[in-house]
Amino acid sequence: MKILMIGDVVGKPGRRVLRDSLPSLYDQHQPDLTVVNAENAAGGFGVTASVLDELLGNPQIDVLTSGNHIWDKPEALQLIDGEPRLLRPHNYPEGTPGQGWLVVRASNGIEVGVLNIMGAVFMHPALDCPFRCADQVLHNKSKALGVVVVDFHAEATSEKMAMGWYLDGRVSVVVGTHTHVATADERILPDGTAYLSDLGMTGCYNSILGMKKEKVLNRFLRRVPERLEPATGPSMLCGAIIDVDESSGRSRSIDRVTIKEK
């Protein structure tokens, strides 16, 4: 089976290139499941009801993951309890609205576990240990569930790599999100887990991490608060397509995908 995972969607430009690119991606790769990180989808920060309807109203999107910006829009506290396909990092404390683990049926009829966790290094807020959180989920999951994909939303590449090696052979896929820059280290680890340190960003690349350059530069140069806004202009979709042997849960291949707007 094939799984398409798409990196952090930033604002309206990211949503536009996502919407416009999915048909050609489906024609080319025919994925059975699509997972999109949407934590920056509403103006660069969090999600709103209208953005959630736009994304999940697209039949080609199955699950939305997120990260440290999931609560930036207050309405997310209510939205996430009513929409199980919108995940927040699973290592938030018990009692936090929503969940970060979902078992979803792919279009080929295979059940897939999707786990969203957040790193501990250079990340705010400080959450429970992501490694122990993953252990707990895998210990409790059904033994019949053979395909599991992990969106590890983390800053430090070393922590992402550590998670890949830690889960090698126990999950099908570990991909990183959050840093908005695609890495070139996609590989199949020795025990069959597909790994990529960061999927990259789906948004405007004539920017600083999807935001208007001038506003980010002011933060660095003047050291004063500056309200960030998504950049405008041609955008690019970044992600990866993973081919998984559903009978064993081992990945056969992982390939980066990019689509640039003209």
Query: How far apart are the C-alpha atoms of 106 and 110, rounded to whole Å?
Result: 5
Query: How far apart are the C-alpha atoms of 134 and 238, rounded to whole Å?
Result: 25
* The pair of three-digit structure tokens given for residue 168, joined into one six-digit string: 């090698």
Query: How far apart are the C-alpha atoms of 240 and 44, rounded to whole Å?
Result: 22
Write the CA distances from 45 to 78, 109, 227, integer angstroms: 16, 34, 11
**Do 214 and 231 form a contact (C-beta atoms < 8 A)?**
no
**Do 138 and 114 form a contact (C-beta atoms < 8 A)?**
no
The one catalytic residue in 29, 69, 124, 180 is 69
Instruction: Spell out the residues 6+ positions from residue 95 whose beta carbon is closer than 8 angstroms to its own.
Output: none
153 is catalytic: no
Neighbours of 224 (CB within 10 A): 7
Query: How far apart are the C-alpha atoms of 88 and 99, rounded to whole Å?
Result: 6
Catalytic residue set: 69
